[in-house]
Amino acid sequence: MYDQLTGRYTFACPARGEVSVPLSRFRILERLPGASHPALYKITFACDCGEEHDGLVTHEELDWAPLAGSDSEFLNLMTARLEPAVPELLDLAARRIQTGDWPWSFFCYPEERPRPVTPSAFRVLSEGGEEVGLAVECPTCSHTSVNVVSREHVDVPFYNDRRVSVVEHIFRHDRERALSAFRDELFSSVFDASRRDLAA
Protein backbone atom coordinates (compact mmCIF):
# COMPACT_ATOMS: atom_id res chain seq x y z
CA MET A 1 0.00 0.00 0.00
CA TYR A 2 2.71 2.56 0.96
CA ASP A 3 6.04 2.65 -0.88
CA GLN A 4 8.72 4.37 1.19
CA LEU A 5 11.01 4.77 -1.82
CA THR A 6 8.51 6.95 -3.69
CA GLY A 7 6.53 8.25 -0.69
CA ARG A 8 3.27 7.22 -2.37
CA TYR A 9 0.18 5.17 -1.57
CA THR A 10 -1.17 2.64 -4.09
CA PHE A 11 -4.90 2.57 -4.78
CA ALA A 12 -7.22 1.07 -7.40
CA CYS A 13 -8.49 3.23 -10.25
CA PRO A 14 -11.41 2.08 -12.46
CA ALA A 15 -9.74 3.59 -15.55
CA ARG A 16 -6.03 2.88 -14.97
CA GLY A 17 -5.95 -0.13 -12.68
CA GLU A 18 -3.44 0.86 -10.01
CA VAL A 19 -2.27 4.40 -9.28
CA SER A 20 0.27 5.76 -6.82
CA VAL A 21 -0.52 9.05 -5.10
CA PRO A 22 1.28 11.14 -2.45
CA LEU A 23 -0.47 12.19 0.74
CA SER A 24 -1.03 15.69 -0.68
CA ARG A 25 -3.40 14.18 -3.29
CA PHE A 26 -5.73 12.90 -0.56
CA ARG A 27 -8.86 15.06 -0.44
CA ILE A 28 -10.98 13.69 2.43
CA LEU A 29 -9.92 11.42 5.30
CA GLU A 30 -12.65 9.85 7.39
CA ARG A 31 -12.18 7.33 10.17
CA LEU A 32 -14.68 4.53 9.78
CA PRO A 33 -16.67 3.32 12.79
CA GLY A 34 -15.97 -0.14 14.14
CA ALA A 35 -12.53 -1.68 14.36
CA SER A 36 -9.94 0.19 16.37
CA HIS A 37 -6.95 -2.19 16.10
CA PRO A 38 -6.20 -1.26 13.43
CA ALA A 39 -8.45 1.72 12.85
CA LEU A 40 -9.59 2.00 9.24
CA TYR A 41 -9.81 5.22 7.20
CA LYS A 42 -11.80 5.92 4.06
CA ILE A 43 -9.70 8.10 1.76
CA THR A 44 -11.00 10.13 -1.15
CA PHE A 45 -8.05 10.93 -3.43
CA ALA A 46 -7.41 12.89 -6.62
CA CYS A 47 -6.45 10.33 -9.26
CA ASP A 48 -4.21 10.73 -12.31
CA CYS A 49 -7.26 9.97 -14.48
CA GLY A 50 -8.78 13.31 -13.43
CA GLU A 51 -11.46 11.87 -11.15
CA GLU A 52 -11.69 11.40 -7.39
CA HIS A 53 -11.88 7.83 -6.06
CA ASP A 54 -12.22 6.19 -2.66
CA GLY A 55 -9.74 3.85 -1.02
CA LEU A 56 -9.08 2.34 2.41
CA VAL A 57 -5.98 2.59 4.59
CA THR A 58 -5.24 1.39 8.08
CA HIS A 59 -3.97 3.62 10.86
CA GLU A 60 -0.53 1.99 10.57
CA GLU A 61 -0.32 2.68 6.84
CA LEU A 62 -1.42 6.28 7.31
CA ASP A 63 0.66 7.34 10.33
CA TRP A 64 3.56 4.92 10.68
CA ALA A 65 4.42 3.57 7.22
CA PRO A 66 5.85 6.95 6.09
CA LEU A 67 8.24 6.75 9.06
CA ALA A 68 9.09 3.04 9.08
CA GLY A 69 8.43 2.02 5.50
CA SER A 70 7.16 -1.42 4.61
CA ASP A 71 8.64 -4.91 4.86
CA SER A 72 11.08 -4.29 2.00
CA GLU A 73 14.77 -5.03 2.38
CA PHE A 74 17.91 -3.15 1.40
CA LEU A 75 21.39 -4.33 0.56
CA ASN A 76 23.63 -3.51 3.50
CA LEU A 77 27.01 -2.78 1.88
CA MET A 78 28.78 -3.29 5.20
CA THR A 79 27.54 -6.87 5.58
CA ALA A 80 26.76 -7.68 1.91
CA ARG A 81 23.36 -9.03 3.03
CA LEU A 82 19.74 -8.07 2.46
CA GLU A 83 18.36 -6.63 5.69
CA PRO A 84 14.98 -5.18 6.70
CA ALA A 85 14.78 -1.39 6.52
CA VAL A 86 12.11 -1.00 9.22
CA PRO A 87 14.38 -1.11 12.34
CA GLU A 88 16.78 1.46 10.86
CA LEU A 89 14.02 3.85 9.80
CA LEU A 90 12.14 3.53 13.10
CA ASP A 91 15.33 4.21 15.05
CA LEU A 92 16.05 7.30 12.95
CA ALA A 93 12.48 8.59 13.38
CA ALA A 94 12.56 7.93 17.16
CA ARG A 95 15.82 9.85 17.56
CA ARG A 96 14.44 12.84 15.65
CA ILE A 97 11.22 12.85 17.71
CA GLN A 98 13.25 12.66 20.95
CA THR A 99 15.05 15.87 19.92
CA GLY A 100 11.68 17.62 19.45
CA ASP A 101 11.53 17.32 15.66
CA TRP A 102 8.05 15.99 14.87
CA PRO A 103 7.27 14.48 11.43
CA TRP A 104 4.19 16.66 10.77
CA SER A 105 2.99 19.87 12.35
CA PHE A 106 0.25 22.45 11.90
CA PHE A 107 -0.77 25.75 13.47
CA CYS A 108 -3.80 25.50 15.78
CA TYR A 109 -5.69 28.77 15.36
CA PRO A 110 -7.82 28.59 18.58
CA GLU A 111 -4.70 27.86 20.68
CA GLU A 112 -2.48 30.21 18.64
CA ARG A 113 0.43 27.78 18.60
CA PRO A 114 2.02 25.08 16.44
CA ARG A 115 1.12 21.51 17.33
CA PRO A 116 2.59 18.11 16.41
CA VAL A 117 0.19 15.92 14.46
CA THR A 118 -0.03 12.72 12.41
CA PRO A 119 -1.85 12.31 9.07
CA SER A 120 -4.80 10.58 10.77
CA ALA A 121 -5.72 14.03 12.15
CA PHE A 122 -6.04 15.46 8.62
CA ARG A 123 -9.66 15.90 7.58
CA VAL A 124 -9.73 17.73 4.22
CA LEU A 125 -6.97 18.63 1.77
CA SER A 126 -7.49 20.90 -1.20
CA GLU A 127 -5.06 21.49 -4.03
CA GLY A 128 -4.04 25.02 -4.86
CA GLY A 129 -1.10 24.93 -7.27
CA GLU A 130 2.08 24.46 -5.27
CA GLU A 131 0.18 24.86 -2.00
CA VAL A 132 -2.26 22.60 -0.18
CA GLY A 133 -5.15 23.77 1.97
CA LEU A 134 -5.16 21.49 5.00
CA ALA A 135 -7.95 21.14 7.58
CA VAL A 136 -6.61 19.42 10.69
CA GLU A 137 -8.45 18.34 13.83
CA CYS A 138 -6.22 19.36 16.73
CA PRO A 139 -5.43 16.37 18.97
CA THR A 140 -5.31 18.71 21.99
CA CYS A 141 -8.37 20.98 21.71
CA SER A 142 -10.37 18.99 19.10
CA HIS A 143 -11.04 22.14 17.04
CA THR A 144 -10.43 22.12 13.30
CA SER A 145 -7.86 24.60 12.01
CA VAL A 146 -7.01 25.33 8.39
CA ASN A 147 -3.41 25.84 7.25
CA VAL A 148 -2.05 26.51 3.76
CA VAL A 149 1.27 24.69 3.34
CA SER A 150 3.57 23.38 0.64
CA ARG A 151 3.13 19.88 -0.77
CA GLU A 152 6.41 18.87 0.87
CA HIS A 153 5.06 19.90 4.27
CA VAL A 154 2.37 17.20 3.83
CA ASP A 155 4.27 14.58 1.79
CA VAL A 156 7.71 14.51 3.40
CA PRO A 157 7.98 13.55 7.09
CA PHE A 158 10.13 15.95 9.14
CA TYR A 159 9.86 18.68 6.47
CA ASN A 160 8.28 21.81 7.94
CA ASP A 161 7.62 25.01 6.02
CA ARG A 162 9.35 28.11 7.34
CA ARG A 163 6.10 30.03 6.79
CA VAL A 164 2.50 28.81 6.82
CA SER A 165 -0.77 30.62 6.18
CA VAL A 166 -3.62 30.18 8.64
CA VAL A 167 -7.32 30.79 8.05
CA GLU A 168 -8.57 32.99 10.89
CA HIS A 169 -11.74 31.08 11.67
CA ILE A 170 -12.93 28.75 14.40
CA PHE A 171 -15.06 26.02 12.90
CA ARG A 172 -18.24 24.83 14.56
CA HIS A 173 -18.31 21.51 16.38
CA ASP A 174 -20.73 20.29 13.71
CA ARG A 175 -17.72 18.98 11.83
CA GLU A 176 -19.45 17.51 8.78
CA ARG A 177 -21.13 20.78 7.82
CA ALA A 178 -18.05 22.79 8.77
CA LEU A 179 -15.72 20.68 6.61
CA SER A 180 -18.15 20.81 3.71
CA ALA A 181 -18.29 24.60 4.04
CA PHE A 182 -14.49 24.73 4.26
CA ARG A 183 -14.13 22.72 1.06
CA ASP A 184 -16.49 25.11 -0.76
CA GLU A 185 -14.62 28.11 0.66
CA LEU A 186 -11.23 26.79 -0.46
CA PHE A 187 -12.36 26.98 -4.07
CA SER A 188 -13.66 30.55 -3.73
CA SER A 189 -11.94 33.93 -3.68
CA VAL A 190 -13.12 34.47 -0.08
CA PHE A 191 -10.40 32.09 1.08
CA ASP A 192 -7.49 34.33 0.03
CA ALA A 193 -8.97 37.26 1.92
CA SER A 194 -9.34 35.34 5.19
CA ARG A 195 -5.86 33.89 5.72
CA ARG A 196 -2.78 35.30 7.34
CA ASP A 197 0.87 34.37 7.04
CA LEU A 198 2.79 33.10 10.05
CA ALA A 199 6.52 32.51 10.32
CA ALA A 200 7.20 28.98 11.50
Looking at 63, 94, 116, which one is the last position of a domain?
A: 63
- Residue 194 counted as domain residue: no
- Residue 77 counted as domain residue: no
In this structure, the answer to whether residues 115 and 166 fall within a common structural domain is yes
- What pLDDT does 34 receive? 80
Domains: count for the chain: 2
pLDDT tens-digit series, residues 77-130: 888 888 877 777 778 878 888 888 889 999 999 999 999 999 999 999 998 778
Report the 3 state secondary structure along 135-178.
EEECCCCCCEEEEEEEHHHHHCCCCCCCEEEEECCCCCCCHHHH
- What pLDDT does 37 receive? 76
**9: CATH:** 2.40.50
- Residue 124 counted as domain residue: yes
pLDDT tens-digit series, residues 180-197: 666 676 666 555 555 555
- Residue 86 counted as domain residue: no
**Which residue range(s) make up the domain with 8?**
2-63
pLDDT tens-digit series, residues 129-150: 789 999 999 999 999 999 999 9
With bands split at pLDDT 50, 70 and 90, how would you rate the model's confidence at 174?
low
